[in-house]
A = this chain, B = another copy of it.
Amino acid sequence: MGLRDEILEQPAVVRRLLVDGRLQIESIAASLRTHPIEHVVIAARGTSDHAAIYAQYVFGARHRLPVALAAPSLISLYGVEPRFGRSLVIGISQSGESPDVVGVIAAARGQGVSTVAITNTSGSPLATAADHSIDLLAGREQAIAATKTYTAELTAVAMLSAALAEDAGAFAALDAVPASVEAALDAEGDAVRVAGARAAMAGCVVLGRGFEYATARELALKLKELARVIADPYSSADFLHGPLALVEPGFPVLAVAPSGAAAPGLLELLGTLRTAHGADLIVISDRADALAQGAAGLALPAGLPDWLMPIASIVPGQLLAFHLARAKGLDPDSPRSIRKVTLTR
């Protein structure tokens, strides 16, 4: 199984988790509901940290919970445990092996706080350290760059939200996600063309806001690790605070701009970037007006609510990073220097 196979496998991975993982997640949620949760702390690194950012918006928008992304080095470097108090503490890691993420979960459990692991490796140190463990059921991920475990992590977060809220409507909306992920794969032809025309790309900015900020972060990471592009991800709100100075005529700007509350502001910014700054805009969207702003576009399927769209909206970006690596003569299955499992302390 190569990286492209794992990208193409995602509709099946998401469908399996929705069907085979629902009982475990509903059972965990039932147990979590017996304790008061006033805020959430999430520990994660790399791609899984982007699933944590997605969770920040999901738990914020759907449960009104403040979410802190843990600084694991507070424990591992400075030897200080946060007082987790009335929090729910979640660790996300595909391998379940990162010692500093495990350290946060172990500290929280030691304080008697509810802990949940989200991992693709049942029996891993993370799964063992937590009270509750959600198994992503994604099958072994062989490629160094994470793809199917990322979409599975997002799906698990969305399912946990639906289960905590006992929200049948949310589960019904989740049922439409596998078909949307499948439809997002149709962007591959366009991804090949966009990549072929941009084989010289050395740097770019990736924009996304709200729920799609996680997508911008993850797409930027794929571009770095696969295609060696210095890709700088920004919320379109923060982008105006300085990084806009980078944009000159022809500078590539990727924008993840599907329908939703963030779209109007982002569309206005895209118009400015194109007309006033001459950016080379590549737009990922289900909206015709957004795609029309770009020099190139990667189409998303319509129909998902904005809180579920990130599970599909990363897919064209994964394909773009893969084909950009190919267009540059790089091997996306063997990115330089990096390992599948990183044991940061």
Of the 9-residue stretches A12-20, A158-166, A227-235, A286-294, which lies at the interface with chain B?
A227-235
Q: Are A49 and B242 in contact (CB under 8 A)?
A: no
Q: Are B39 and A209 in contact (CB under 8 A)?
A: no
A96: Cβ under 8 A from any B Cβ: no
Given contacts A60-B80, A82-B64, A265-B345, contact A72 B237 (CB under 8 A): yes
Q: Are A337 and B245 in contact (CB under 8 A)?
A: yes
Q: Are A84 and B71 in contact (CB under 8 A)?
A: no
Give the size category of A's interface with B.
35 or more
Q: Say which residue of B79, B230, B345 sits within 8 Å of A232 (CB atoms).
A: B230
Given contacts A81-B64, A245-B228, contact A240 B338 (CB under 8 A): yes
A35: Cβ under 8 A from any B Cβ: no
A33: Cβ under 8 A from any B Cβ: no
How distant is the Cα of A241 from the Cα of B342 in the complex, in angstroms?
7
CB distance from A137 to the nearest CB of B (A): 23
How distant is the Cα of A74 from the Cα of B235 in the complex, in angstroms?
13
**A221-B242, A240-B342, A277-B337 known, 16 other contacts, Cβ within 8 Å:** A39-B68, A45-B238, A45-B241, A47-B241, A57-B71, A60-B80, A64-B80, A66-B87, A69-B69, A72-B237, A73-B235, A100-B237, A230-B232, A237-B344, A244-B338, A245-B337
The 6 closest A-B pairs by CB, nearest first: A46-B241, A68-B68, A225-B242, A237-B344, A203-B230, A77-B261
Query: Can you spell out 29 A-B residue pairs with CB atoms less than 8 angstroms apart?
Result: A39-B68, A39-B85, A41-B66, A46-B238, A47-B241, A57-B74, A61-B74, A61-B80, A64-B81, A64-B82, A66-B84, A66-B85, A68-B69, A69-B69, A72-B237, A73-B210, A77-B261, A79-B261, A145-B242, A202-B202, A203-B203, A224-B242, A225-B242, A225-B243, A228-B245, A228-B248, A242-B335, A244-B337, A247-B337
